[in-house]
Structure 1
């Protein structure tokens, strides 16, 4: 059985996570990246099987090349791909402001954009680092409002933050235990 996965946010968490999932038999992964001046270039880079990160990321170059060559991973800026997704992973940045308060603009935007495209039965997994309560108080209301669906009845919502270290991205994702709340 084929599993379709969408990973939103092609950064230090999203890229290795998407590539690792795409390397699993019968998993097909589409990454979504905003086509902005700052990071839109990653779309073409990743679709050519290249690693956009500077520095040494053991195993990532070969992994990206393999999953793109095998047509298991592609990247777009089009949220329509979510209509076929069994799982949607959110891996967007959550920076802090000058007062050290988290800024959730990207998370809110992505939640609004993905919601109308979710299929019934999909699972949304938030991997971005969030303060306690953010999933239920910010993301859930946006998903329900913009999808017209209800969590637990029509879709599922999970929080499982990812911690990675540049230079050890694949190692940290594959070797460290994770906490999952759903």
Structure 2
């Protein structure tokens, strides 16, 4: 029986054992969905603390249901380990590890490389390997393929299948989650694409789009997030212009949204956050240089978005100057350090850079976030306020809203007690009595 037919039969009969490398915001939800679909799943992670929590049925990811995780672990459908030798037991391996930027704003693919080397040592014939981490076009074929072949002695397309299928995780999204979000799969060879797409179809409810190659799937993911980066850069630049022209950018967007075609609304803010949108354009720009191509429009939007934290502090300083108050020594209360509303994720959050810029200016900074009581940045930990009292608000020279939480924050209470408010997210749009509120 051919490799293709053998795997298709095992997929349909639920005989596949799944391995997920990386148990973070992408990996753990994926592992849970695979296990829920009836496939015994092994999670791999280099952090013993995560492995221990999973094996105890303790959830640490917002998009995973606590009771589902606990039940899957208790039923033996999901387990976790730091020991990569168990890769030999897996028929399907998904790699979902971080792909950050290094200190020079260039791709750091060390996690992908190290994970691939670890998998290659124990890779056996008849296995499917899928990279889900967002990366530059070419990673799957140029980096992973040779490492897997050299480390295992197996031949891609004959002994194992390899593909790229980008994660599409949107933390806090109540409509689209791992289970029902459409998936793109691009394999090394047509058979790989067909078989791995069949595996995802047996697990997920969303449409599975079969791309012609890993490079198409890799570029597709970069396009998704670069599209958002460029359009957010445009709206951030317009927000700065509208401020100079004394025009409310938020009202402009609401007016433009009434057009039923040809317009998609994007919103300004203090910068970009999260694990994809602020990083992915750098991956593309870095790879483009290999072809002697300069991504001028993309890099221009990146420059605008990267400057927004500094612009937020500059605007705050101008607001305070109207009341004869300097940034140096001002008591600033930051409202929200999560990178988006109603989640506990602060990866690449612009609010953290805003806080750093205020501190550089000599401001006394406190923050409150109902979802994040403390955050670790570089070598230090910053603790938030345990609660937001009238006294704390009244004693602050200005409140700067950097996250539009809809839960755990009483905006009317804040407005009633604050001297001045700079709302960078239009979070207080429904508050009456807006005399002390300025918008981005």
Q: By the TM > 0.5 criterion, same fold?
A: yes
- Partner SS for 2:159: coil
RMSD: 1.6
Distance in 2 (CA, whole Å) between partners of 1:113 and 1:124 is: 13
- Aligned residue number for residue 30 of structure 2: 17
Is the counterpart of residue 60 in structure 1 residue 65 in structure 2?
A: yes
State the TM-score, normalizing by the size of structure 2. 0.38
Mapped to 2, the partners of 1:143 and 1:110 lie a distance apart of 10
CA shift for structure 1 position 97: 2.3
Contact in 2 for aligned 1:20/1:63 (Cα 8 Å): no
Q: CA deviation at 1:176?
A: 1.6
- Give the corresponding residue for 1:29: 41
Q: State yes or no: 1:4 paired with 2:4.
A: no
Task: Report the equivalent of 1:69.
Answer: 74
Q: Where does structure 2 lack aligned partners over 5 or more consecutive residues?
A: 1-12, 188-440
Q: Could you say if the C-alpha distance between residues 130 and 61 of structure 1 is closer, same or farther in structure 2, counting changes exceeding 3 Å?
A: same
CA apart distance, 1:92: 0.4
Deviates more, 1:65-74 or 1:165-174: 165-174
Alpha carbons of 1:169 and 1:125: their partners in 2 closer, same or farther (altered >3 Å)? farther
Q: In the alignment, which of 97, 116, 126 is matched to residue 92 of structure 1?
A: 97
Aligned-pair CA distance for 1:84: 1.4
Q: SS at 2:80's partner residue?
A: strand
Q: Deviations over 1:2-32 (max 9, x none)?
A: 220100001000001001110112x100000
Could you tell me whether the CA contact under 8 Å between 2:134 and 2:167 is conserved in 1?
yes
CA offsets per residue over residues 105-160 of structure 1, 9 Å max, x none?
A: 01000111110211101000111001111111111111111111110011100100
* Structure with the bigger percentage of helix: 2
Q: Output the CA distance in 2 between the equivalents of 1:81 and 1:131.
A: 29
Instruction: Tell me, in whole angstroms, the C-alpha distance in 2 between the residues paired with 1:93 and 1:80.
Output: 21
Select 1:172's aligned residue among 153, 177, 182: 177
Aligned to 1:43: 51
- Structure with higher Rg: it is 2
Residue 133 (structure 1) aligns with: 138
4+ aligned runs moved over 6 Å, structure 1: none
Greater shift after overlay, 170-179 or 139-148? 170-179
1:169 positional shift: 8.6
Partner Cα distance (1:86, 1:119) in 2:
8
- Higher RCO structure (Cα 8 Å, ≥6 apart): 1
